[in-house]
Chains A and B, each alone.
Chain A
Amino acid sequence: MMSRRRSAAGQPRRRISLRTMGGLCLTMAFLLCCPLLHAEEGIPELGKITIRDLQDTGDRPASRAAYTMAAGNTSWRGLQATEGERENFSTFAAARQTPPDEYGDVTAEDVGEAGAAAKESADEYGDVAPDSATAAKPQVQIADPLRPFNVAMFHFNDKLYFWMWKPAATGYKYVMPQPFRQLFSNFYRNLTAPVRILNNLFQGKPGYAGEELAKLLINSTVGVGGLRNCAEECFGIKGRNADFGQTLGKWGLGPGFYLVLPFLGPSSPRDGFGFLVDWALRPQTYVGTEFFDYQNVGLFVHEKINSTSFRIGEYEALKKAAVDPYVSMRDIYIQYRTDLIENR
């Protein structure tokens, strides 16, 4: 019964579907042929492509060299193993199996080093061409003329961390519950609001300066003297970190050279000076009677131990990842600071 009814009802439907399917087929075929038609129209375009192709192969002698190199290796190996033809064949087959240029030579472009040269040459006269701007970023580097001093300071700070900061922070973490450490962290951060407000202004970011001002006002009142970061938690005001070294960088001043400061860690003349300016902008500084005395430095040490208690293990991880910890830290410093200045 069912099947009969279906076929009876299906008869007219089938015709429609035949027609629609045919139509669909035609449309699809037409759409697919469109590019072909277009290609036929633009025959000169084809010529362009071949030229470009030729240029392309000219640009990449590396892969060819790699291939000949692989082949050379094989024949050399083959000469060594003249006794067994089978061995010879198998080495050849093995060489053939690996993609010829996977391990081949590279050009500066392949490894993203060409961008550096292009940018340097264009940099002298200001604007960077969009091409080189979108190309792989050139490597950021910092001069290190005081290397022996810096290495000594690196080891000093390293020992300082393992013998002083880390045990102090661990002990502190043990006796001070997490919520209290968070309160201290919020409190100190709220106090240093002038540093961020002014530097955001100096960097031409009045919007963020306003956000930081709002945070200061909200956290000092609703957040009970800055103990709670209510501006962010209740109102979602994020604000923006800013320091004077970064401001100088935004103004176009380079870092100068690498300088590891005792107690403070990786820095440069620019950022060291920036630290002094920020120190002057911190209200905590004026707790003492002098610019540096046991009171404001003492507060700074507590702030540092408090913040270290949240980040035990981070320095160790960075050091563990490095092949040469000193060079690695120097590179992390300059990459991080450059990113802060250029991208944030």
Chain B
Amino acid sequence: MRKVLAGLMIFIISMIPLHAFAASALDMVKTNANSVLDVLRDPKLKGDAGKKVKEQKIEAAAEKLFDYVELSKRTLGLNWNRLSMDQRKEFVDLFKTLLRNTYIDRITAYTNEKVEFTKEMQLTETTTEVQSVVTKGNTTVPINYRVIKKGNDWMVYDVVIEGVSLISNYRTQFRDILGSNPPQVLIDTLRKRVGK
């Protein structure tokens, strides 16, 4: 009898929808950011070999945290529709490489900054902004992560530093190129830029 009841109990509990326990956007970004910070602060990872390990770990974390397709779509805006399917795929790949090359050195250079996640603010039904403050010495920089709900996960599609949105910034630049050129010119420019 007792076993039956216990079994019933487990069955009932398992019926409670899982998404009720899905992590909030803030927790999600915080956990990922902290795991990166732990890697960066690891005193064992020094010199060139240590830097390689750091870079690999950061890339793995970024892969989990960033939604590069969403990021690319929002960066190109409606110009996205002008690209062919193959161009879209190449663009996502090139843009990802560009961001990686640009920011990996700056991230590995992080040392004694203090990162504090302050609050989250819902933007639309599916998007949320996670706000954080980075303190180094006596300067503080607000960094906000805009995340979009994908299944059970929150994926970053934009980073806003001191009010400057990363995707808006690239969007303006790409729009400038696409305004008078076909999409292939943008792809070629990016290809040249990342050295592929």
Contacts and interface: CB of A to CB of B under 8 A. Distances in A.
Contacts of A108: 77-78
**Residue from the set B9, B16, B103, B122 with the largest chain A CB neighbour count within 10 Å:** B9
> Is chain B's interface secondary structure helix, strand, loop, or mixed overall?
helix
A333 B117 CA distance: 26
Contacts of A102: 69
Given A103-B85, A106-B81, A338-B163, A331 B169 contact: yes
Contact of A110 (B1, B8, B73): B73
B124 A331 contact: no
Interface in B42-56: none
Interface of B: 1-2, 5-6, 8-9, 12-13, 15-16, 69, 73-74, 76-78, 80-81, 85, 88-89, 92, 98, 102-103, 106, 122-124, 127, 138, 162-165, 168-174, 176-177, 189-190, 193
A258 B80 CA distance: 27
A331 B163 CA distance: 11
Given A111-B74, A136-B123, A335 B168 contact: yes
Contacts of B73: 106, 110-111
Contacts of B1: 18
A73 interface: yes
13 contacts: A14-B2, A21-B2, A28-B12, A32-B16, A69-B85, A106-B80, A111-B74, A323-B174, A324-B173, A324-B176, A327-B176, A330-B172, A331-B164
A322 interface: yes
Contacts of B124: 134-136
Interface in A130-145: 134-136, 139-141
A238 to B, nearest CB: 9
Given A103-B69, A327-B173, A139 B168 contact: yes
Contacts of A344: 163
Contacts of A73: 85
Contact of B77 (A32, A69, A113, A134): A113
**Residue from the set B80, B177, B189 with the largest chain A CB neighbour count within 10 Å:** B80
Interface residues of A, number: 48
A105 B193 CA distance: 26
Nearest to B139: A310
B123 A134 contact: yes
B12 A111 contact: no
A198 to B, nearest CB: 23
Contacts of B5: 18, 21-22, 25
Given A136-B124, A140-B168, A328-B169, A21 B81 contact: no
A106 B78 contact: yes
B68 to A, nearest CB: 11
B149 to A, nearest CB: 14
B169 A320 contact: no
Contacts of B81: 105-106
Contacts of B13: 28
Given A28-B12, A106-B73, A339 B164 contact: yes
A112 B125 CA distance: 12
Given A103-B69, A331-B172, A111 B77 contact: yes
Contacts of A8: none
A17 interface: yes
